[in-house]
Structure 1
Amino acid sequence: MATHHLASWAHNLLYSDLPQDVVRAAIKTFYNWAGCAVGGSDHPAATIARSTLTPFFGQPTASLLGTSYSVDAQHAALLNGIASHVHDYDDTHLDTIIHPAGPVASALLAVAQWKGGFSGKEFLLALIVGIEAECKLGLSVWPEHYDVGWHITSTTGSIGAAVAVSKLLGLSIQQTSHAIGIAATQVTGLREMFGAHTKSFHPGRAAQNGLMAAIMAQGGYTSSLQALEAKRGWANVIGATKPDVQANMDKWLGIAQETHGVGLPVGAATGRWEILRNSFKPFPCGIVIHPVIDACSRLHVELEARGLAVGDIQSVHATVHPLVLELTGKAKPRDGLEGKFSFYHGGAIGLLYGKGTPAQYEDAVVQDPEVIATRDRIRGTADSSLAADEARVVLTMNDGEVLQSHVLHAVGSLEVPMGDEALEAKFIDQCSSVLGDGVHAASQACWAIVEAEDVASISKALCTC
């Protein structure tokens, strides 16, 4: 029932059913994803994947963003997905910490280029459908599924990408159900890979899996039509530690719920749109570190105003939500990727630089003696009474003076979201070194996606060809 319900909803949803705030959220999601994909295109994880897979590339029908390369659609989905996630700068659904756009947008843009002729509105509708699917499914198995060790972005992302591509290609309800099944059986992503290149492989592979699932279903390939809900189906297998997983999935997919309740929107009824709970990162690292960086960046400003330096600090004490220490407790990160999972490094760059951009997560910065010395002065205490986006940081100076910063809601949270200007500054910062003088044209093209007659045309602005 759940598989059919999701496929029916996705098939029947019209662009005219979308509230304007949902459309605007989708535009911002695409804009942020495009900047992250271009910005990550020259990272070793992206370049190694591209060079090693070159012998397997097929007919060049889709672009690798931020480069002059074109490859087949499957590999474009994989490689753009890797690039979009490698800096850990992409969007985050705060209720599940899924990064929704990576799998879905990477698959959709590859298909849009390969097939051609899809308008911006058609693309955005498919993007919304895919994001809603993966986030609703994520909610149905959260948090046990994540806690046991699955990377929820990719385990749900394959299905989200399959639903999105099915929508873009106009698959029937039954074909979409088969696509969901083909994607559901391709479960990808272990949290053990965090801090390594393979973490970014997860959303790329999910995009590739979902694209393949939809294309195979379109051609008549079958799967179980109860892939999500069956006893040995997706939810019960990967969500096995949650005793009420079936009821929870029914709840979030809106089965046996009123159309105005928590379930997926049907027709003009909105339900709860998960894309409106999507957020954008001001810092390229694990999102639970953001409150510490925010607090330390504020203290950086105060130190400068008082004529003090980081070297004048005797000790730093951060009180944080327990997840911060659990997920990002790497006290001695060895490189930039490990630094993204170190709240100690996040605090150090906040104090030293007053900001956190990809430049502060370069290997040379993580290994810099001054950064290491600052990290070594930071101690953390978990406090379950704090919210996940809250932190308290106390500096004790060498002369005994105490400076404090309390961040109730970190920048980038739903309460303190990044505005369009901040998103644009982030886009320009990431993409300028890659696109050069074309960066502003690329920014404008992405903002104007809803007006595009053929989304494939936007890809040209995001490439160096």
Structure 2
Amino acid sequence: MSQPPVAVALGRFVAEAAWDRIPSEIRREAPRALLNHVSCALGVAQSPVVRGALAALRPFSGPATATVFGQGVKLDPMSAAFVNCIAGNLLDYDDTHLATVIHPAAPVAPVALALAEQRGLSGRAVLEALLLGMEVECRIGLGVAPGHYDRGWHITSTTGVFGAAAAAAKLIGLDAARTAHALGLAASQSSGIIENLPNAGKNASMGNAARNGLLAALLAEAGWEAAPTAIEGRNGWARAMGDVPDVAAMAADLGARWEALRITYKPYPAGIVFHAVIEAAMQLAGPAEAVAHVLVEGDALLLERGDRLVRTGGDSRVSIHHAVALGLVRQRAGVAEFEQPAVEDPALAAMRARVEARLNAGLPRGAARLTATRRDGTRQVVLVEHPTGSEANPMSDAALEAKLRDNLAIGGFAPRGDALVAALRGLEGSANTAGLMALLG
């Protein structure tokens, strides 16, 4: 029997899914993902980028029914989702699905929270929609990775629109056919380029992923239709933006094989592939001044993402050279270590200049081997394959809560810590999201 189109299969999966029938180990990831998302978003509430997005959209907002995290204001749901998505992803501190390098929660959680707040939906509905949306975007991403990314498409933005559409469709209550149309409509609203990764261009495409996904679901609710094969068809999204898609990766074994189990969380606010570099550098014997040269070896993605000059904080979060410098010179890699003062630190700049990057196709994605040559001629080799936060070495619930509290302190919301943790822990049993949104606002 022939397989249905991808949008049809995914639409049926989303519409027919029921929270109680999802295995508990899968459901567990939804509140973890949400906690991590709001942690990252509140930590940057004072950022000019976030404030600028709010200032640009506020004069054009519709009825103010959805909270903007940390700003004390509300906007219409599409505008709030745009700003909150940017905040959650701004520092590259959010969750990651390493097989695709998608950050799943950022385009999806803001849509789920905005719709639930507007429509008075339950906390359980939010968690269910978030989980399904993340699954859909990761599945679609698997079907086009790695060629899609290699062509220059920012895969979180381009697939995030599908996750946002799926989450919105679930919350709105669309049936399988309408949900499939929402996904097909999302295919026409997908964009985002890697060239803009270190600057505000990435933020724009991320915000659009959330906003456009919600728009796609609302248009489907209003009766709009899309081609059944809008995703994988001969002139569809996947082929227009990449190679021949792997349809089985997108739509086979839905409900039996969950990509949500492979979502990981970051202890460092940098691209996930740099975490092994940071931790390997921390293991190198110092002092840094005694190290004349460091060779970093990793896979193609590490080299493509991170072999760059560092001029800004955005550059530093996707830099092999800065990752090594932090590990050797500062022995830490918190938010402050990726801001402009750190970029301009002479000691870090001098260390960056002594770092060389080289492709090693034999190393798995996410791993790094560092060879340090000291001024006395001695060498040290450190290999890190499973850094903290990786699928094989995950962050605990306690570590995620500690990250939340650290980010709340940075954003100026430290007194809310206990109440916010309690609200997030109890969200599944909450009749609505009013208490959580009051804390987030």
The answer (yes or no) to whether the contact 2:307–2:357 under 8 Å persists in 1 is: no
The equivalent position to 2:92 in structure 1, one of 71, 76, 88, is: 88
TM-aligned CA distance change 1:203 to 1:399, over 3 Å:
same
Is the aligned partner of 1:42 residue 2:20?
Answer: no
Is the aligned partner of 1:62 residue 2:66?
Answer: yes
**3-state SS in 2 of match to 1:226:** coil
Query: What does residue 351 of structure 2 align with?
Result: 374
The answer (yes or no) to whether the contact 1:153–1:202 under 8 Å persists in 2 is: no
The superposition leaves residues 191-227 of structure 1 with CA deviations (integer Å, 9 ceiling, x where unpaired) of: 1111111212222211100111111221223333332
- 2:195 & 2:291 partners in 1: Cα distance? 35
Report 1:40-189 matches (<5 A): 40-116=44-120, 118-189=121-192
- 1:375 & 1:33 partners in 2: Cα distance? 31
The equivalent position to 1:323 in structure 2, one of 274, 277, 301, is: 301
The answer (yes or no) to whether the contact 1:78–1:204 under 8 Å persists in 2 is: yes
TM-aligned CA distance change 1:99 to 1:121, over 3 Å:
same
Shift of 1:112: 1.0
Q: Which amino acid aligns with 1:293?
A: I
TM-aligned CA distance change 1:395 to 1:76, over 3 Å:
same
The equivalent position to 2:264 in structure 1, one of 274, 279, 285, is: 279
Is the aligned partner of 1:342 residue 2:327?
Answer: no
Query: What does residue 276 of structure 2 align with?
Result: 291
Shift of 1:124: 1.3
Query: What does residue 28 of structure 1 align with?
Result: 32
- 2:111 & 2:366 partners in 1: Cα distance? 31
The equivalent position to 1:413 in structure 2, one of 379, 390, 395, is: 390
Identical-residue share of aligned pairs (%):
37
Report 1:215-254 matches (<5 A): 215-239=218-242, 241-242=243-244, 245=245, 248-254=246-252
Q: Which amino acid aligns with 2:270?
A: C
Q: Which amino acid aligns with 2:174?
A: L
Q: Which amino acid aligns with 2:278?
A: I
Q: Which amino acid aligns with 2:438?
A: K
Is the aligned partner of 1:264 residue 2:254?
Answer: yes
Q: Which amino acid aligns with 1:311?
A: E
- 2:249 & 2:292 partners in 1: Cα distance? 51
The answer (yes or no) to whether the contact 2:139–2:249 under 8 Å persists in 1 is: no
- 2:200 & 2:434 partners in 1: Cα distance? 28
Shift of 1:459: 1.6
Query: What does residue 260 of structure 1 align with?
Result: none
Q: Which amino acid aligns with 2:352?
A: R
Shift of 1:278: 0.6
Shift of 1:357: 1.6
Query: What does residue 448 of structure 1 align with?
Result: 426
- 1:441 & 1:126 partners in 2: Cα distance? 23
The answer (yes or no) to whether the contact 2:405–2:414 under 8 Å persists in 1 is: no
The superposition leaves residues 150-206 of structure 1 with CA deviations (integer Å, 9 ceiling, x where unpaired) of: 111111111111111111111122221221122111011111111111212222211
Shift of 1:85: 0.5
The answer (yes or no) to whether the contact 1:109–1:456 under 8 Å persists in 2 is: no
Shift of 1:108: 0.9
- 2:15 & 2:267 partners in 1: Cα distance? 35
The answer (yes or no) to whether the contact 2:276–2:366 under 8 Å persists in 1 is: yes
CA RMSD of aligned residues (A): 1.6
The equivalent position to 1:200 in structure 2, one of 200, 203, 225, is: 203
TM-aligned CA distance change 1:319 to 1:420, over 3 Å:
same
Stretch deviating more after TM superposition (217-226 or 101-110): 217-226
Gaps of at least 5 residues in structure 1 are 255-262, 266-270, 304-308
**3-state SS in 2 of match to 1:183:** helix
Shift of 1:94: 1.1
- 1:296 & 1:386 partners in 2: Cα distance? 17
Stretch deviating more after TM superposition (419-428 or 221-230): 221-230
**Greater than 6 Å deviation, 4+ residue runs:** none
The answer (yes or no) to whether the contact 1:104–1:160 under 8 Å persists in 2 is: yes
Gaps of at least 5 residues in structure 2 are none
**3-state SS in 2 of match to 1:412:** coil
Query: What does residue 376 of structure 2 align with?
Result: 399
**3-state SS in 2 of match to 1:379:** strand
Shift of 1:359: 0.9
TM-aligned CA distance change 1:452 to 1:177, over 3 Å:
same
Shift of 1:382: 1.8
**3-state SS in 2 of match to 1:399:** coil
- 1:250 & 1:408 partners in 2: Cα distance? 29
TM-aligned CA distance change 1:452 to 1:130, over 3 Å:
same
Q: Which amino acid aligns with 1:218?
A: E
The superposition leaves residues 85-114 of structure 1 with CA deviations (integer Å, 9 ceiling, x where unpaired) of: 110011111111111111111111111111
Shift of 1:251: 4.5
The answer (yes or no) to whether the contact 1:43–1:86 under 8 Å persists in 2 is: no
TM-aligned CA distance change 1:251 to 1:349, over 3 Å:
closer
